[in-house]
A and B are shown apart, each in its own frame.
Chain A
Amino acid sequence: MSREITIIGAGVVGLCVATELTARGVPVRLVDPQPQPGPHACSWWAGGMLAPFCEGETTEEPVVRLGQEAADWWARAGVQVHREGSLVVTLGRDRAELDRFARRTERHNALDRSALSDIEPDLGARFDRALYFKDEAHIVPRAALDHLRDQLDHNGVPVDAEAPEGDLVIDCRGLAARDVLTDLRGVKGEMVVLQTHDVELSRPVRLLHPRHPLYIVPRGDGVFMLGATQIESGERSRATLKSVAELLNAAYALHPAFGEAEILEIGVDARPAFADNLPRIRRRGDRIFVNGLFRHGFLLAPALSRMVAEYVIEGTTPEVMDEDQRER
Protein backbone atom coordinates (compact mmCIF):
# COMPACT_ATOMS: atom_id res chain seq x y z
CA MET A 1 0.00 0.00 0.00
CA SER A 2 1.69 3.18 -1.11
CA ARG A 3 -1.13 5.70 -1.14
CA GLU A 4 -0.90 8.13 1.74
CA ILE A 5 -3.88 8.18 4.06
CA THR A 6 -5.10 11.42 5.59
CA ILE A 7 -6.24 11.32 9.20
CA ILE A 8 -8.31 14.31 10.26
CA GLY A 9 -8.39 15.12 13.95
CA ALA A 10 -5.47 14.68 16.34
CA GLY A 11 -7.37 13.75 19.47
CA VAL A 12 -6.98 10.34 21.04
CA VAL A 13 -8.70 8.53 18.15
CA GLY A 14 -6.75 10.26 15.37
CA LEU A 15 -3.42 9.79 17.15
CA CYS A 16 -4.11 6.11 17.85
CA VAL A 17 -5.17 5.43 14.26
CA ALA A 18 -2.09 7.25 12.96
CA THR A 19 0.14 5.30 15.34
CA GLU A 20 -1.41 1.95 14.41
CA LEU A 21 -1.19 2.55 10.66
CA THR A 22 2.39 3.84 10.92
CA ALA A 23 3.39 0.78 12.92
CA ARG A 24 2.00 -1.37 10.12
CA GLY A 25 3.98 0.52 7.49
CA VAL A 26 1.13 2.54 6.00
CA PRO A 27 2.11 6.13 5.13
CA VAL A 28 -0.19 8.65 6.80
CA ARG A 29 -0.51 12.36 7.33
CA LEU A 30 -2.34 14.06 10.19
CA VAL A 31 -4.55 17.05 9.68
CA ASP A 32 -5.57 19.26 12.57
CA PRO A 33 -5.71 23.03 12.85
CA GLN A 34 -4.09 22.65 16.28
CA PRO A 35 -0.63 21.16 15.84
CA GLN A 36 -0.20 19.88 19.42
CA PRO A 37 -2.51 18.04 21.82
CA GLY A 38 -4.38 20.49 24.04
CA PRO A 39 -7.63 21.63 25.59
CA HIS A 40 -9.38 21.84 22.19
CA ALA A 41 -9.69 18.03 22.16
CA CYS A 42 -12.07 16.34 24.57
CA SER A 43 -9.49 13.61 25.22
CA TRP A 44 -7.39 16.29 26.94
CA TRP A 45 -9.95 16.20 29.78
CA ALA A 46 -10.18 12.41 30.05
CA GLY A 47 -9.66 10.32 33.16
CA GLY A 48 -7.37 7.77 31.52
CA MET A 49 -8.85 4.78 33.33
CA LEU A 50 -8.45 1.54 31.41
CA ALA A 51 -11.29 -0.11 33.32
CA PRO A 52 -13.31 -2.30 30.97
CA PHE A 53 -14.80 -4.46 33.73
CA CYS A 54 -16.04 -1.55 35.83
CA GLU A 55 -17.54 0.02 32.73
CA GLY A 56 -19.55 -3.17 32.33
CA GLU A 57 -21.88 -1.85 35.02
CA THR A 58 -23.60 0.43 32.53
CA THR A 59 -22.24 -0.38 29.09
CA GLU A 60 -22.77 -3.23 26.72
CA GLU A 61 -20.59 -6.22 26.01
CA PRO A 62 -18.45 -4.80 23.16
CA VAL A 63 -17.01 -2.13 25.46
CA VAL A 64 -15.96 -4.69 28.07
CA ARG A 65 -14.41 -7.03 25.50
CA LEU A 66 -12.75 -4.46 23.21
CA GLY A 67 -11.55 -2.42 26.18
CA GLN A 68 -9.38 -5.32 27.29
CA GLU A 69 -7.05 -4.62 24.36
CA ALA A 70 -6.27 -1.15 25.66
CA ALA A 71 -3.62 -1.63 28.37
CA ASP A 72 -1.34 -3.75 26.18
CA TRP A 73 -1.76 -1.43 23.21
CA TRP A 74 -0.75 1.64 25.21
CA ALA A 75 2.23 -0.20 26.67
CA ARG A 76 3.35 -1.29 23.18
CA ALA A 77 3.05 2.33 22.04
CA GLY A 78 5.58 3.25 24.71
CA VAL A 79 3.18 4.89 27.14
CA GLN A 80 3.61 4.23 30.84
CA VAL A 81 0.72 1.99 31.90
CA HIS A 82 0.00 1.70 35.62
CA ARG A 83 -1.29 -1.83 36.10
CA GLU A 84 -2.45 -1.40 39.66
CA GLY A 85 -6.09 -2.36 39.15
CA SER A 86 -8.92 -0.16 40.36
CA LEU A 87 -11.15 0.07 43.41
CA VAL A 88 -14.84 0.67 43.96
CA VAL A 89 -16.11 1.87 47.34
CA THR A 90 -19.27 3.31 48.79
CA LEU A 91 -20.28 5.25 51.87
CA GLY A 92 -21.98 3.32 54.67
CA ARG A 93 -25.59 4.08 53.87
CA ASP A 94 -25.18 3.24 50.18
CA ARG A 95 -23.90 -0.28 50.73
CA ALA A 96 -26.60 -1.71 48.49
CA GLU A 97 -24.99 0.18 45.62
CA LEU A 98 -21.81 -1.83 46.06
CA ASP A 99 -23.72 -5.12 45.95
CA ARG A 100 -25.49 -4.03 42.80
CA PHE A 101 -22.20 -2.99 41.19
CA ALA A 102 -20.69 -6.37 42.10
CA ARG A 103 -23.63 -8.25 40.59
CA ARG A 104 -23.36 -6.42 37.30
CA THR A 105 -19.62 -6.61 36.76
CA GLU A 106 -17.00 -9.34 36.59
CA ARG A 107 -13.34 -10.02 37.44
CA HIS A 108 -13.43 -8.36 40.84
CA ASN A 109 -12.90 -9.58 44.35
CA ALA A 110 -14.24 -8.19 47.59
CA LEU A 111 -11.79 -6.68 50.04
CA ASP A 112 -12.40 -6.23 53.76
CA ARG A 113 -10.84 -3.39 55.70
CA SER A 114 -7.52 -5.09 56.32
CA ALA A 115 -7.09 -6.24 52.71
CA LEU A 116 -7.98 -2.73 51.55
CA SER A 117 -5.49 -1.22 53.99
CA ASP A 118 -2.77 -3.46 52.57
CA ILE A 119 -3.05 -1.99 49.09
CA GLU A 120 -4.47 1.49 49.78
CA PRO A 121 -3.73 2.47 53.41
CA ASP A 122 -5.48 5.85 53.25
CA LEU A 123 -8.75 4.19 52.26
CA GLY A 124 -8.55 1.34 54.75
CA ALA A 125 -9.13 3.82 57.55
CA ARG A 126 -12.34 5.06 55.92
CA PHE A 127 -13.97 2.06 54.27
CA ASP A 128 -14.59 -1.44 55.54
CA ARG A 129 -15.44 -2.91 52.15
CA ALA A 130 -14.28 -2.44 48.56
CA LEU A 131 -14.35 -4.18 45.20
CA TYR A 132 -10.93 -4.70 43.66
CA PHE A 133 -10.63 -5.05 39.88
CA LYS A 134 -7.04 -6.22 39.75
CA ASP A 135 -6.80 -6.57 35.95
CA GLU A 136 -7.54 -2.92 35.28
CA ALA A 137 -5.03 -0.15 34.65
CA HIS A 138 -4.69 3.58 34.14
CA ILE A 139 -2.57 6.02 32.18
CA VAL A 140 -1.97 9.75 32.25
CA PRO A 141 -3.95 10.97 29.23
CA ARG A 142 -2.07 14.16 28.43
CA ALA A 143 1.28 12.42 28.66
CA ALA A 144 -0.08 9.65 26.44
CA LEU A 145 -1.31 12.11 23.79
CA ASP A 146 1.99 14.01 23.85
CA HIS A 147 3.92 10.76 23.56
CA LEU A 148 1.96 9.54 20.52
CA ARG A 149 2.33 12.94 18.89
CA ASP A 150 6.11 12.96 19.49
CA GLN A 151 6.48 9.42 18.16
CA LEU A 152 4.60 10.35 14.99
CA ASP A 153 6.92 13.35 14.55
CA HIS A 154 9.87 11.07 15.12
CA ASN A 155 8.55 8.72 12.42
CA GLY A 156 8.24 11.59 9.96
CA VAL A 157 4.46 11.79 9.85
CA PRO A 158 3.54 15.21 8.45
CA VAL A 159 1.00 17.35 10.30
CA ASP A 160 -0.96 19.91 8.27
CA ALA A 161 -3.63 22.42 9.15
CA GLU A 162 -5.75 21.62 6.11
CA ALA A 163 -6.65 18.42 4.28
CA PRO A 164 -5.50 17.88 0.69
CA GLU A 165 -8.13 16.84 -1.86
CA GLY A 166 -8.72 13.37 -3.18
CA ASP A 167 -7.06 11.12 -0.63
CA LEU A 168 -8.57 8.36 1.42
CA VAL A 169 -9.58 10.14 4.62
CA ILE A 170 -10.06 8.77 8.10
CA ASP A 171 -12.24 11.25 9.90
CA CYS A 172 -11.56 11.29 13.66
CA ARG A 173 -12.96 14.71 14.46
CA GLY A 174 -15.16 13.67 17.37
CA LEU A 175 -18.12 15.93 17.98
CA ALA A 176 -17.07 18.27 15.15
CA ALA A 177 -18.09 15.52 12.71
CA ARG A 178 -21.71 16.29 13.56
CA ASP A 179 -21.74 18.28 10.33
CA VAL A 180 -21.96 14.91 8.54
CA LEU A 181 -22.91 12.45 11.28
CA THR A 182 -26.10 14.15 12.34
CA ASP A 183 -27.06 11.36 14.76
CA LEU A 184 -24.00 12.14 16.87
CA ARG A 185 -24.73 13.99 20.13
CA GLY A 186 -22.62 15.64 22.79
CA VAL A 187 -22.64 14.51 26.42
CA LYS A 188 -21.18 17.22 28.61
CA GLY A 189 -18.62 16.31 31.24
CA GLU A 190 -16.99 18.41 33.93
CA MET A 191 -13.82 17.51 35.84
CA VAL A 192 -11.51 18.96 38.45
CA VAL A 193 -7.77 18.55 39.00
CA LEU A 194 -6.55 18.74 42.59
CA GLN A 195 -3.20 18.57 44.30
CA THR A 196 -2.53 17.42 47.84
CA HIS A 197 0.22 15.43 49.49
CA ASP A 198 -2.02 14.47 52.41
CA VAL A 199 -3.67 11.57 50.58
CA GLU A 200 -1.92 8.83 48.68
CA LEU A 201 -3.63 6.61 46.15
CA SER A 202 -1.97 4.18 43.76
CA ARG A 203 -4.97 3.40 41.59
CA PRO A 204 -8.26 4.90 40.40
CA VAL A 205 -11.09 4.78 42.93
CA ARG A 206 -14.79 4.97 42.15
CA LEU A 207 -17.13 6.22 44.83
CA LEU A 208 -20.63 4.93 44.14
CA HIS A 209 -23.42 7.30 45.06
CA PRO A 210 -27.02 7.19 43.92
CA ARG A 211 -26.90 10.81 42.78
CA HIS A 212 -23.30 11.91 42.48
CA PRO A 213 -21.01 9.04 41.44
CA LEU A 214 -17.35 10.04 41.28
CA TYR A 215 -14.05 8.63 40.19
CA ILE A 216 -10.66 9.86 41.21
CA VAL A 217 -7.50 9.03 39.31
CA PRO A 218 -4.03 9.58 40.75
CA ARG A 219 -1.68 11.36 38.36
CA GLY A 220 1.44 11.22 40.51
CA ASP A 221 3.15 14.00 42.50
CA GLY A 222 0.00 14.50 44.59
CA VAL A 223 -2.12 15.38 41.57
CA PHE A 224 -5.58 13.84 41.28
CA MET A 225 -8.23 14.07 38.62
CA LEU A 226 -11.88 14.05 39.73
CA GLY A 227 -14.49 13.12 37.21
CA ALA A 228 -16.93 13.41 35.82
CA THR A 229 -20.41 14.70 35.32
CA GLN A 230 -22.52 13.31 32.52
CA ILE A 231 -25.09 15.75 31.19
CA GLU A 232 -27.22 15.46 28.06
CA SER A 233 -25.88 18.62 26.48
CA GLY A 234 -23.51 19.39 23.63
CA GLU A 235 -22.12 22.41 25.45
CA ARG A 236 -18.31 22.38 25.50
CA SER A 237 -17.70 25.13 28.04
CA ARG A 238 -19.08 26.54 31.29
CA ALA A 239 -18.50 24.26 34.24
CA THR A 240 -21.31 25.06 36.67
CA LEU A 241 -20.87 25.70 40.37
CA LYS A 242 -23.37 22.95 41.12
CA SER A 243 -21.44 20.30 39.18
CA VAL A 244 -18.10 21.33 40.62
CA ALA A 245 -19.55 21.46 44.15
CA GLU A 246 -20.88 17.92 43.73
CA LEU A 247 -17.49 16.64 42.51
CA LEU A 248 -15.62 18.36 45.32
CA ASN A 249 -18.11 17.15 47.94
CA ALA A 250 -17.74 13.59 46.75
CA ALA A 251 -13.93 13.86 46.93
CA TYR A 252 -14.22 15.23 50.45
CA ALA A 253 -16.47 12.30 51.36
CA LEU A 254 -13.90 9.88 49.94
CA HIS A 255 -11.23 11.36 52.16
CA PRO A 256 -11.50 14.51 54.31
CA ALA A 257 -7.87 15.40 53.55
CA PHE A 258 -9.03 16.43 50.06
CA GLY A 259 -10.61 19.38 51.85
CA GLU A 260 -7.17 20.99 52.02
CA ALA A 261 -6.22 20.19 48.44
CA GLU A 262 -5.38 22.95 45.96
CA ILE A 263 -7.69 23.22 42.96
CA LEU A 264 -5.40 23.26 39.94
CA GLU A 265 -7.89 23.09 37.14
CA ILE A 266 -11.58 22.90 36.31
CA GLY A 267 -12.27 21.39 32.93
CA VAL A 268 -15.29 20.87 30.73
CA ASP A 269 -16.02 19.42 27.30
CA ALA A 270 -18.57 17.24 25.52
CA ARG A 271 -18.04 13.60 24.58
CA PRO A 272 -19.22 12.42 21.15
CA ALA A 273 -21.83 9.64 21.39
CA PHE A 274 -24.41 7.83 19.30
CA ALA A 275 -27.83 6.90 20.72
CA ASP A 276 -26.62 3.58 22.18
CA ASN A 277 -23.36 5.12 23.46
CA LEU A 278 -21.40 2.57 21.40
CA PRO A 279 -18.62 3.48 18.91
CA ARG A 280 -19.05 3.21 15.16
CA ILE A 281 -16.92 3.04 12.03
CA ARG A 282 -18.76 4.34 8.98
CA ARG A 283 -17.65 4.69 5.39
CA ARG A 284 -19.04 7.40 3.14
CA GLY A 285 -17.25 7.31 -0.22
CA ASP A 286 -13.56 7.94 0.36
CA ARG A 287 -14.09 8.96 3.96
CA ILE A 288 -14.01 6.57 6.91
CA PHE A 289 -15.52 7.94 10.13
CA VAL A 290 -14.36 6.64 13.50
CA ASN A 291 -16.52 8.18 16.16
CA GLY A 292 -18.91 7.88 19.13
CA LEU A 293 -16.37 6.64 21.68
CA PHE A 294 -18.39 8.46 24.36
CA ARG A 295 -16.60 8.25 27.75
CA HIS A 296 -14.34 5.48 26.47
CA GLY A 297 -11.82 7.30 24.31
CA PHE A 298 -8.60 5.91 25.78
CA LEU A 299 -10.26 2.55 26.47
CA LEU A 300 -11.60 1.92 22.97
CA ALA A 301 -9.32 3.90 20.62
CA PRO A 302 -6.78 1.01 20.54
CA ALA A 303 -9.35 -1.59 19.42
CA LEU A 304 -10.89 0.79 16.90
CA SER A 305 -7.45 1.67 15.51
CA ARG A 306 -6.75 -2.03 15.02
CA MET A 307 -10.06 -2.42 13.18
CA VAL A 308 -9.37 0.58 10.96
CA ALA A 309 -5.93 -0.80 10.10
CA GLU A 310 -7.32 -4.27 9.31
CA TYR A 311 -10.00 -2.68 7.16
CA VAL A 312 -7.65 -0.41 5.25
CA ILE A 313 -4.90 -2.99 4.76
CA GLU A 314 -6.75 -6.29 4.49
CA GLY A 315 -10.29 -5.23 3.73
CA THR A 316 -11.65 -6.90 6.87
CA THR A 317 -15.04 -5.46 7.77
CA PRO A 318 -14.84 -4.10 11.34
CA GLU A 319 -17.40 -5.44 13.80
CA VAL A 320 -18.44 -1.91 14.66
CA MET A 321 -18.90 -1.02 10.96
CA ASP A 322 -22.26 0.62 10.66
CA GLU A 323 -24.07 0.78 7.35
CA ASP A 324 -27.26 2.00 8.94
CA GLN A 325 -27.57 5.44 7.36
CA ARG A 326 -29.61 6.92 10.12
CA GLU A 327 -28.18 10.40 9.75
CA ARG A 328 -31.02 12.81 9.60
Chain B
Amino acid sequence: MVAFYETEVRSRLMLGTAQYPSPAVLEQAFRRSGAGIATVSVRREAGQDRAGAAFWDLVAQLGVHVLPNTAGCYSVREAVTTAHMARELFDTKWIKLEVIGHADTLQPDPFGLVEAARILTEDGFEVFPYTTEDLVLAERLLEVGCKVLMPWGAPIGTGLGLTNIYGLRTLRAQFPDIPMVVDAGLGLPSQAAQAMEMGFDSVLLNTAVAKAGDPAAMAEGFARAVEAGRLAFEADPMSPRDMAAPSTPLIGKAFLE
Protein backbone atom coordinates (compact mmCIF):
# COMPACT_ATOMS: atom_id res chain seq x y z
CA MET B 1 0.00 0.00 0.00
CA VAL B 2 1.11 3.52 -0.72
CA ALA B 3 0.56 6.32 1.79
CA PHE B 4 0.49 10.10 1.45
CA TYR B 5 0.64 12.17 4.63
CA GLU B 6 -0.03 8.95 6.56
CA THR B 7 -3.22 8.18 4.64
CA GLU B 8 -3.05 4.78 3.00
CA VAL B 9 -4.47 4.51 -0.51
CA ARG B 10 -5.57 1.28 -2.17
CA SER B 11 -4.20 1.97 -5.64
CA ARG B 12 -1.11 3.63 -7.06
CA LEU B 13 -3.15 5.13 -9.88
CA MET B 14 -4.64 8.60 -9.51
CA LEU B 15 -7.06 9.98 -12.07
CA GLY B 16 -8.20 13.50 -12.83
CA THR B 17 -11.90 14.19 -13.29
CA ALA B 18 -11.91 16.78 -16.10
CA GLN B 19 -12.77 16.51 -19.80
CA TYR B 20 -14.72 13.24 -19.77
CA PRO B 21 -17.65 12.99 -22.20
CA SER B 22 -20.00 12.78 -19.19
CA PRO B 23 -19.92 12.13 -15.45
CA ALA B 24 -21.27 8.64 -16.16
CA VAL B 25 -18.22 7.82 -18.30
CA LEU B 26 -15.99 9.27 -15.58
CA GLU B 27 -17.58 6.89 -13.09
CA GLN B 28 -16.99 3.89 -15.38
CA ALA B 29 -13.32 4.84 -15.74
CA PHE B 30 -12.89 4.89 -11.96
CA ARG B 31 -14.77 1.64 -11.43
CA ARG B 32 -12.80 -0.22 -14.06
CA SER B 33 -9.40 1.09 -13.04
CA GLY B 34 -9.82 0.90 -9.27
CA ALA B 35 -8.00 4.24 -9.03
CA GLY B 36 -7.59 5.30 -5.42
CA ILE B 37 -7.48 9.08 -5.66
CA ALA B 38 -9.53 11.51 -7.73
CA THR B 39 -8.20 14.98 -8.35
CA VAL B 40 -10.87 17.64 -8.74
CA SER B 41 -10.34 21.07 -10.09
CA VAL B 42 -11.95 23.79 -8.03
CA ARG B 43 -12.98 26.79 -10.05
CA ARG B 44 -13.66 29.77 -7.94
CA GLU B 45 -16.83 30.58 -9.81
CA ALA B 46 -18.22 27.10 -9.18
CA GLY B 47 -17.64 27.58 -5.47
CA GLN B 48 -20.01 30.51 -5.28
CA ASP B 49 -23.21 29.31 -3.65
CA ARG B 50 -21.95 25.76 -4.25
CA ALA B 51 -22.99 26.00 -7.91
CA GLY B 52 -20.69 23.09 -8.75
CA ALA B 53 -22.14 20.90 -5.99
CA ALA B 54 -23.96 18.51 -8.32
CA PHE B 55 -20.69 17.48 -9.97
CA TRP B 56 -18.75 17.30 -6.70
CA ASP B 57 -21.44 15.03 -5.26
CA LEU B 58 -20.93 12.70 -8.24
CA VAL B 59 -17.18 12.64 -7.52
CA ALA B 60 -17.79 12.04 -3.82
CA GLN B 61 -19.94 9.03 -4.72
CA LEU B 62 -16.96 7.36 -6.42
CA GLY B 63 -15.83 6.30 -2.97
CA VAL B 64 -12.20 7.32 -3.49
CA HIS B 65 -9.98 9.88 -1.76
CA VAL B 66 -10.56 13.33 -3.20
CA LEU B 67 -7.49 15.47 -3.89
CA PRO B 68 -8.70 18.96 -4.84
CA ASN B 69 -6.35 21.00 -7.01
CA THR B 70 -5.69 24.62 -7.83
CA ALA B 71 -5.56 24.07 -11.59
CA GLY B 72 -5.52 27.24 -13.63
CA CYS B 73 -4.11 29.45 -10.86
CA TYR B 74 -1.37 31.80 -12.02
CA SER B 75 -0.55 33.56 -8.76
CA VAL B 76 0.20 32.65 -5.16
CA ARG B 77 -2.80 34.54 -3.94
CA GLU B 78 -5.17 32.86 -6.36
CA ALA B 79 -3.82 29.41 -5.45
CA VAL B 80 -4.09 30.07 -1.73
CA THR B 81 -7.67 31.35 -2.04
CA THR B 82 -8.64 28.34 -4.14
CA ALA B 83 -7.02 25.98 -1.62
CA HIS B 84 -9.06 27.48 1.18
CA MET B 85 -12.22 27.08 -0.82
CA ALA B 86 -11.33 23.47 -1.59
CA ARG B 87 -10.71 22.70 2.08
CA GLU B 88 -14.16 23.94 2.94
CA LEU B 89 -15.89 22.22 0.04
CA PHE B 90 -14.29 18.81 0.40
CA ASP B 91 -13.49 18.83 4.09
CA THR B 92 -9.88 17.74 3.47
CA LYS B 93 -6.43 19.10 4.31
CA TRP B 94 -5.06 17.72 1.04
CA ILE B 95 -4.39 20.12 -1.78
CA LYS B 96 -2.68 19.50 -5.09
CA LEU B 97 -0.92 22.79 -5.55
CA GLU B 98 -0.57 24.13 -9.06
CA VAL B 99 0.85 27.59 -9.64
CA ILE B 100 1.16 27.96 -13.38
CA GLY B 101 3.93 30.15 -14.74
CA HIS B 102 3.49 29.91 -18.48
CA ALA B 103 0.14 30.02 -20.25
CA ASP B 104 1.18 28.03 -23.29
CA THR B 105 3.17 25.16 -21.76
CA LEU B 106 1.40 25.30 -18.37
CA GLN B 107 4.82 25.00 -16.72
CA PRO B 108 4.83 25.49 -12.97
CA ASP B 109 6.07 28.83 -11.64
CA PRO B 110 8.77 27.52 -9.28
CA PHE B 111 9.03 30.70 -7.22
CA GLY B 112 5.29 31.08 -6.70
CA LEU B 113 5.00 27.37 -6.01
CA VAL B 114 7.44 27.43 -3.09
CA GLU B 115 5.82 30.54 -1.66
CA ALA B 116 2.28 29.13 -1.89
CA ALA B 117 3.45 25.78 -0.47
CA ARG B 118 4.98 27.59 2.51
CA ILE B 119 1.82 29.59 3.21
CA LEU B 120 -0.46 26.60 2.90
CA THR B 121 1.72 24.25 4.97
CA GLU B 122 1.88 26.82 7.77
CA ASP B 123 -1.89 26.98 7.57
CA GLY B 124 -2.21 23.23 8.19
CA PHE B 125 -2.64 22.02 4.61
CA GLU B 126 -1.04 18.82 3.36
CA VAL B 127 0.41 20.02 0.08
CA PHE B 128 0.99 17.93 -3.05
CA PRO B 129 3.03 20.34 -5.21
CA TYR B 130 2.93 19.97 -8.99
CA THR B 131 6.57 20.60 -9.85
CA THR B 132 9.22 19.96 -12.47
CA GLU B 133 12.01 17.40 -12.10
CA ASP B 134 14.31 20.19 -10.83
CA LEU B 135 16.32 18.99 -7.86
CA VAL B 136 16.84 22.34 -6.19
CA LEU B 137 13.18 23.22 -6.47
CA ALA B 138 12.31 19.85 -4.92
CA GLU B 139 14.62 20.62 -2.01
CA ARG B 140 12.99 24.00 -1.44
CA LEU B 141 9.53 22.44 -1.46
CA LEU B 142 10.60 19.87 1.13
CA GLU B 143 12.16 22.64 3.23
CA VAL B 144 8.88 24.54 3.44
CA GLY B 145 7.12 21.40 4.65
CA CYS B 146 5.88 19.40 1.65
CA LYS B 147 6.01 15.65 2.31
CA VAL B 148 5.00 14.58 -1.19
CA LEU B 149 6.34 15.68 -4.59
CA MET B 150 4.56 15.56 -7.91
CA PRO B 151 7.13 16.00 -10.68
CA TRP B 152 5.85 16.23 -14.22
CA GLY B 153 6.61 13.71 -16.92
CA ALA B 154 5.97 16.30 -19.63
CA PRO B 155 3.75 19.41 -19.89
CA ILE B 156 0.08 18.90 -19.00
CA GLY B 157 -2.02 17.30 -21.71
CA THR B 158 0.84 16.58 -24.12
CA GLY B 159 0.99 12.79 -23.77
CA LEU B 160 4.73 12.89 -24.46
CA GLY B 161 5.66 10.57 -21.60
CA LEU B 162 8.83 10.98 -19.52
CA THR B 163 10.80 13.62 -21.41
CA ASN B 164 13.71 13.91 -18.95
CA ILE B 165 14.49 10.42 -17.73
CA TYR B 166 17.83 11.49 -16.30
CA GLY B 167 16.28 14.30 -14.25
CA LEU B 168 13.51 12.09 -12.89
CA ARG B 169 15.95 9.30 -12.01
CA THR B 170 18.18 11.76 -10.15
CA LEU B 171 15.20 13.20 -8.28
CA ARG B 172 14.06 9.73 -7.25
CA ALA B 173 17.56 8.74 -6.12
CA GLN B 174 18.10 11.98 -4.21
CA PHE B 175 14.97 11.67 -2.06
CA PRO B 176 14.31 7.95 -1.74
CA ASP B 177 11.92 8.30 1.21
CA ILE B 178 9.65 11.01 -0.17
CA PRO B 179 6.49 9.71 -1.84
CA MET B 180 6.62 10.88 -5.44
CA VAL B 181 3.88 10.95 -8.03
CA VAL B 182 4.64 11.45 -11.69
CA ASP B 183 1.97 13.93 -12.67
CA ALA B 184 1.11 15.15 -16.14
CA GLY B 185 2.31 14.41 -19.64
CA LEU B 186 1.54 10.70 -19.73
CA GLY B 187 -0.26 9.50 -22.85
CA LEU B 188 0.15 5.73 -22.80
CA PRO B 189 0.16 2.94 -20.23
CA SER B 190 3.72 2.00 -21.21
CA GLN B 191 4.88 5.45 -20.06
CA ALA B 192 3.14 4.96 -16.72
CA ALA B 193 4.79 1.55 -16.37
CA GLN B 194 8.15 3.16 -17.07
CA ALA B 195 7.65 5.69 -14.28
CA MET B 196 6.68 2.93 -11.85
CA GLU B 197 9.66 0.79 -12.87
CA MET B 198 11.88 3.75 -11.97
CA GLY B 199 10.54 3.61 -8.43
CA PHE B 200 7.97 6.39 -8.43
CA ASP B 201 5.21 5.68 -5.96
CA SER B 202 2.25 6.60 -8.09
CA VAL B 203 1.16 8.28 -11.30
CA LEU B 204 -1.56 10.84 -11.96
CA LEU B 205 -3.15 11.37 -15.34
CA ASN B 206 -6.29 12.81 -16.81
CA THR B 207 -6.29 13.68 -20.51
CA ALA B 208 -4.92 10.30 -21.65
CA VAL B 209 -7.98 8.59 -20.17
CA ALA B 210 -10.66 11.27 -20.56
CA LYS B 211 -9.90 11.91 -24.24
CA ALA B 212 -9.47 8.27 -25.25
CA GLY B 213 -12.18 6.85 -27.50
CA ASP B 214 -13.05 4.40 -24.70
CA PRO B 215 -12.03 6.08 -21.45
CA ALA B 216 -12.98 3.13 -19.21
CA ALA B 217 -10.82 0.70 -21.22
CA MET B 218 -7.89 3.12 -21.24
CA ALA B 219 -8.23 3.60 -17.47
CA GLU B 220 -8.01 -0.16 -16.96
CA GLY B 221 -4.98 -0.27 -19.29
CA PHE B 222 -3.24 2.32 -17.13
CA ALA B 223 -4.18 0.49 -13.93
CA ARG B 224 -2.59 -2.72 -15.20
CA ALA B 225 0.52 -0.88 -16.38
CA VAL B 226 0.93 0.80 -13.01
CA GLU B 227 0.66 -2.56 -11.29
CA ALA B 228 3.11 -4.18 -13.73
CA GLY B 229 5.62 -1.36 -13.32
CA ARG B 230 5.42 -1.48 -9.54
CA LEU B 231 5.88 -5.26 -9.47
CA ALA B 232 8.94 -4.90 -11.70
CA PHE B 233 10.43 -2.24 -9.43
CA GLU B 234 9.88 -4.37 -6.33
CA ALA B 235 11.32 -7.42 -8.07
CA ASP B 236 14.72 -5.71 -8.47
CA PRO B 237 15.11 -5.90 -12.24
CA MET B 238 18.26 -7.16 -13.89
CA SER B 239 20.72 -4.63 -15.24
CA PRO B 240 20.97 -4.31 -18.98
CA ARG B 241 24.24 -5.47 -20.52
CA ASP B 242 25.72 -5.43 -23.98
CA MET B 243 26.73 -9.07 -24.32
CA ALA B 244 24.06 -11.70 -24.93
CA ALA B 245 23.68 -14.19 -22.09
CA PRO B 246 21.80 -17.30 -23.16
CA SER B 247 19.31 -18.39 -20.56
CA THR B 248 19.93 -22.05 -21.48
CA PRO B 249 23.53 -23.30 -21.24
CA LEU B 250 24.93 -24.18 -24.64
CA ILE B 251 26.02 -27.70 -23.79
CA GLY B 252 28.45 -29.26 -26.15
CA LYS B 253 29.47 -26.06 -27.85
CA ALA B 254 32.93 -24.74 -27.72
CA PHE B 255 33.54 -21.86 -25.32
CA LEU B 256 33.98 -18.84 -27.56
CA GLU B 257 35.97 -16.51 -25.38
Contact = CB atoms under 8 A, between A and B. Distances in A.
Given A231-B43, A233-B45, A276 B23 contact: yes
Nearest to B48: A235
A234 B21 contact: no
A244 to B, nearest CB: 12
Interface in A221-240: 231-235, 238, 240
B51 interface: yes
A211 interface: yes
Interface stretch (B4-12, B52-60, B92-100, B170-178): B52-60
B110 to A, nearest CB: 22
B25 interface: yes
A184 B53 CA distance: 12
Contacts of A232: 46, 52, 54-55
Given A210-B157, A211-B157, A275-B27, A234 B22 contact: no
Given A210-B157, A234-B52, A276 B45 contact: no
B interface bracket (residues with beta carbon within 8 Å of A): 20 to 34
A277 B211 CA distance: 16
B24 interface: yes
Nearest to B106: A211
B51 A59 contact: no
Contacts of B213: 103-104
Interface residues of A, number: 24
B234 interface: no
A58 B21 contact: yes
Interface SS majority for chain B: helix
A275 B24 contact: yes
A276 B28 CA distance: 11
Nearest to A178: B54
Nearest to B21: A58
Contact of A233 (B21, B24, B25, B52): B52
Interface string B1-43: 0000000000000000000011111010000000000000001
A71 to B, nearest CB: 24
B257 interface: no
A184 B24 CA distance: 13
Interface string B140-175: 000000000000000001000000000000000000
A43 to B, nearest CB: 20
Interface SS majority for chain A: loop
A235 B157 contact: no
B54 A276 contact: no
A85 interface: no
A235 to B, nearest CB: 4
B49 interface: yes
B158 to A, nearest CB: 9
A211 B52 CA distance: 20
Contacts of A276: 22-25
A282 interface: no
A188 interface: yes
A184 B58 CA distance: 11
Most buried by A among B21, B22, B27, B46: B22
B55 A185 contact: yes
Contacts of A238: 45, 48
Nearest to A243: B45
Contact of A275 (B23, B51, B157): B23
A186 interface: yes
Interface in B57-77: 58
A188 B43 CA distance: 12
Interface string A63-103: 00000000000000000000000000000000000001001
B25 A234 contact: no
Contacts of B45: 188, 231, 233, 235, 238, 240
A100 B27 CA distance: 23
A278 B21 CA distance: 11
Nearest to A183: B54
Which 3 pairs between the two chains have the least Cβ-Cβ distance? A185-B54, A276-B24, A232-B55
22 contacts: A58-B21, A104-B213, A184-B54, A185-B23, A188-B45, A210-B157, A231-B43, A231-B52, A232-B46, A232-B55, A233-B43, A233-B51, A233-B52, A233-B55, A235-B45, A235-B48, A238-B45, A273-B22, A275-B24, A276-B23, A276-B25, A278-B22
Given A59-B21, A238-B45, A238-B48, 7 more contacts: A58-B21, A188-B45, A233-B52, A233-B55, A235-B48, A235-B49, A277-B22
Interface of A: 58-60, 100, 103-104, 184-186, 188, 210-211, 231-235, 238, 240, 273, 275-278
